[in-house]
Amino acid sequence: MTRLLEVKDLKVRFRSDRTIIHAVNGISYSLDEGGSLAVVGESGSGKSVGMLAIMGLIPNPPGWVESGQALFKGRDLLKASEGELRLIRGKEIAMVFQDPMTSLNPVLPIGLQLTEAIQTHLGLDKNQARERAIEMLRMVGLPNPAQRIKDFPFQFSGGQRQRVMIAMALTCTPSLLIADEPTTALDVTIQAQIVELVRDLQKQLGMAIIWISHNLGLVAGVVDTVLVMYSGFIVEQAPVDDLYEHPRHPYTLGLLHAVPKLDTENQERLASIDGMPPDLRKPIVGCPFAPRCPYRQEKCDQQTPPLFEVGPQHQSACWRWQELSKISTFGEPL
Amino acid sequence: MLAYFIRRLLINIPLLVGITIIVFVLASLMPGDAVLAMISSDTPVTDDMIKMRQGELGLDLPLHEQYLRWMGNIIQGNLGYSFVSAESVSKMIVSRIPATLELMGVSLSISIILGLTLGTISALKQYSWMDYGFTVFGFIGISIPDFFLGMVLVFVFALKLKWFPTSGFITAGEEFSLADNLRHVFLPALALALVRTAVFMRYTRASVLEVLGNDYVRTARAKGLLQNVIILRHVMRNALIPVITIIGVNLGVLFAGSVIIETIFQWPGIGMMFINAVTGRDSPVIMGYVLLTSMIVLASNLLTDLAYSLVDPRIRYE
């Protein structure tokens, strides 16, 4: 397989009230053509910002890319000019955002919002673009696309709007789709439909996908590789099954432990990880997870752990990854 | 939609009746007397002569009867006759309104074009020297009274530089020509436009900044659209919605504000007619003018609502 995207040591900073927020702190990962990757982490872990950065969509001011490389088909996106990026955005890399209620322009008919990208990138005329838009809407399962193309976003339900957003992202058949929590704002049943839809479309169109989510359960069935982020660091990266079965980082363990299960006999209180994520206004010394980690040692406070190779394609940033194989639940003594 | 606007028009009728009562009472409370204002202090007059003239004008009747007579005429489309010139008030208004509308139109166009453009630039280049420059200009614009600005403009551009005429509608003694007329309208229109340019600019800046932070602008950028398309189609369309209200409110203010500017520039519009009427205690003309102004304010509110529904598809009046 050919490498589609390779991100190396990406660092993103924001300025806020004379302090600097360390939002993304040197993340590296890669994605093959047609591959799928999930970036999992809690709010503020830098998962969305890391993706917006490679698309050049970080508003500056207040944010900027401090360092790093993002090679897309061999080209460094972080060094590309705005004009070059414009030709890549929407055509090569498309994005579906979290909230379909606010991500569509409320005063423009959806047809126009679809065709403008088609006309910009594919050079089709108005009628051809309209045909293409209808075809895309049909593909994402929107009923009566030819009539509904004239409607405004407020005339659609949340799930329908997200379908429109997906159609919009896929109009130019991008080689990479970044789905930034596309189901968070939707009902659970609709969530499943949208996940299913994106997965089918990925197979159909053969594109690669990066799925940003805070829901480990949701991404389990849709991706090959999972990347766990915590306070701007990648703490663990592994093929999906391996990660669920043999987590090698206490944070991943804690996250898996916090997923509610329907099949447990005794309805126990849902486990949570005590404490709060670190303050990103200060540079992090040592392991970012150390203050909340039950397995903390002196070394953890002083040295930031590198990503250790802990198995085939499996990496963990924990000093005690070897010992962690002995336990299966978070908090269990080593 | 149509039903909504017809209903809105009907609601305005009782509002107008209320306004006529207030206007009438105010005009009667005005110090001074129409008959006395007509009399030159050199000519000797007797009280009988004054009473006779008051009787002719109907000023000796009780106030409510005077009001009912006036209203009765208005319903028949007759705004009364000037005490001073005996001209029909409606004819006076009709002959003078085009000049005022021209002044308003030019002034409003200048302030909308400048205000929206500068406001948008200011927002797009937030915290740049241009933004600060426009902000300072905005404060100056809002702070300078338009009559003072009018006099400064006359002094600089008419008297010193001689680029524009000092006053009037056309050059006296010449045939009407549009170019000549536009040269005359420019300075008064500019004097009226500055305040509103500043106001529109500040509102546009705030509104554009707010819209720029919206998710759909990020979506538009993620689609790889050209910057101009993003700004004009996605940002401006949304940012204009609150600005329209401000423009609507300013229609009425502009109409009233033209009174002083018209006087300074000897612009033969309705404002000058009003000032002459006030000096002459010519209450039919004063009342006609105030009634017209109220109607213009009410109409501009209605127009604002209509403009809203054109810009924002979510607004549908039932």
Judged by average pLDDT, the poorest of A84-93, A287-296, B55-64 is B55-64
The structural domains of chain B, ordered by start, are 89-311 (1.10.3720.10)
When scoring A105, A112, A212 by the number of chain B Cβ atoms within 10 A, the one with the most, hence best to mutate, is A105
Tell me the chain B residues in contact with residue A119 when contact means C-beta distances shorter than 8 Å: none
Q: What is the pLDDT of residue B204?
A: 95
Q: What is the pLDDT of residues B123-173, one digit of tens each?
A: 988 888 999 999 999 999 889 888 898 889 888 988 888 888 877 777 777
Q: Calculate mean pLDDT across residues B18-30.
A: 84
Q: What is the pLDDT of residue A325?
A: 78
The pLDDT of A90-95, averaged and rounded, is 89
- Among B216, B218, B224, the residue with its CB nearest the CB of A117 is B224
List beta partners, residue A230: A233
Q: What is the mean pLDDT of chain A?
A: 85
Q: Is the pLDDT of residue A267 over 70?
A: no
**Contact of B77 with B274, CB cutoff 8 Å:** no
| A3-15 pLDDT, tens digit each | 888 888 898 988 8
Residue to mutate among B216, B223, B236, with most A CBs inside 10 A, is B223
What is the number of CB-based contacts under 8 A between chain A and chain B?
Answer: 79
When pLDDT is averaged across residues A184-201 and rounded to a whole number, the result is: 81
In one-letter notation, the amino acid at residue A135 is: E
Q: Is the per-residue pLDDT at A243 higher than 80? A: yes
Residues 6+ away with beta carbon under 8 Å from A66: A11, A12, A13
Cβ A12 vs Cβ A49: under 8 Å: yes
User: Which residues on A lie below 8 Å from B310 (Cβ)?
Assistant: none
- For the cut 70, the answer to whether the pLDDT of residue A222 exceeds it is yes
- Per residue, the 3-state secondary structure of chain B, as one string, reads CHHHHHHHHHHHHHHHHHHHHHHHHHHHHCCCCHHHHHCCCCCCCCHHHHHHHHHHHCCCCCHHHHHHHHHHHHHCCCCCECCCCCCEHHHHHHHHHHHHHHHHHHHHHHHHHHHHHHHHHHHHCCCCHHHHHHHHHHHHHHHCCHHHHHHHHHHHHHHHCCCCCCCCCCCCCCCCCHHHHHHHHHHHHHHHHHHHHHHHHHHHHHHHHHHHCCHHHHHHHHCCCCHHHHHHHHHHHHHHHHHHHHHHHHHHHHHHHHHHHHHHCCCCCHHHHHHHHHHCCCHHHHHHHHHHHHHHHHHHHHHHHHHHHHHCCCCCCC
Q: Residue B117: its pLDDT value, please? A: 94
**Of A116 and B79, the one with more pLDDT:** A116
Task: Name the more confident of A261 and A225.
Answer: A225
Q: Is the pLDDT of residue B46 over 80?
A: no
- Burial environment of residue A2 by CB neighbours within 10 A (0 to 12, 13 to 18, 19 or more): exposed
User: At residue B119, does pLDDT exceed 90?
Assistant: yes
**Rounded Cα gap, residues A332 and B200, in angstroms:** 64
Mean pLDDT, rounded, for A145-157: 90
- Write down the pLDDT at residue B133: 93
Q: Which residue among B224, B238, B314 places its CB closest to the CB of A121?
A: B224
Residue B221 · residue B291 · CB < 8 Å: no
More confidently predicted of B106 and B253:
B106
Beta carbons of B222 and A90 less than 8 Å apart = yes
Query: For residue A320, what is the DSSP state?
Result: T
Mutation for testing the B interface, residue in A116, A168, A172 having most B CBs under 10 Å: A116
B259-288 pLDDT tens trace: 888 888 888 888 888 888 888 888 888 888
Rounded to a whole number of angstroms, the distance from the CA of B299 to the nearest CA of chain A is 25
Residue A44 reports pLDDT greater than 70: yes
User: What's the rounded Cα separation, in Å, for the pair A132 and B6?
Assistant: 42
Q: Tell me which residue in A85, A95, A102 faces B216 most closely, judged by beta carbons.
A: A102
CA distance to partner chain B, nearest, from residue A197 (Å): 20
Does B34 have pLDDT greater than 90?
Answer: no
Question: What is the pLDDT, as a whole number, of residue B106?
Answer: 93
pLDDT band with cut points at 50, 70 and 90 for residue B315: confident
User: A94-103, B77-86, B295-304: which range is least confident on average?
Assistant: B77-86
More confident position, A214 or A225: A225
Confidence of residue B41 (pLDDT cuts 50, 70, 90): low
- The end-to-end CA distance of chain B, in Å, is 6
Radius of gyration of chain A (CA): 21
Instruction: Tell me what pLDDT residue B110 has.
Output: 94
pLDDT at B37 over 70: no
* pLDDT exceeds 80 at position A16: yes
What confidence category does residue B111 fall into, taking pLDDT thresholds of 50, 70 and 90?
Answer: very high
- Average of pLDDT values for A248-259? 83
Instruction: Report the pLDDT value the prediction gives residue B107, as an integer from 0 to 100.
Output: 93
The highest-confidence range among A277-286, B41-50, B190-199, by mean pLDDT, is B190-199
Kindly report which listed range (A169-173, A227-231, B130-134) carries the lowest average pLDDT score: A169-173
CB contact under 8 A, A120 and B223: yes
| Minimal CA separation from B142 to chain A, in Å | 30
List of E strands, chain A: 3-16, 19-32, 36-40, 63-72, 75-76, 93-96, 176-180, 208-213, 225-230, 233-239, 308-311, 314-316
User: What pLDDT is stored for residue B118 in this prediction?
Assistant: 94
| Structure confidence at residue A265 (pLDDT) | 60
pLDDT in tens, B179-210: 888 888 889 999 999 989 999 999 999 999 99
Least confident interval from A223-232, B49-58, B219-228:
B49-58
- Top mean pLDDT of A16-20, A237-241, A253-257 is at A237-241
Report the pLDDT value the prediction gives residue B109, as an integer from 0 to 100: 94
Task: Determine phi and psi for B165, rounding to 5 degrees.
Answer: -70, 155
What residues are paired with A69 via a beta bridge?
A: A8
Contact of B155 with chain A, judged by CB distance below 8 Å, is answered with no
CB contacts under 8 A, B 186-215 vs A, are 214-215
Q: What is the pLDDT of residue A66?
A: 85
pLDDT of residue B201: 95
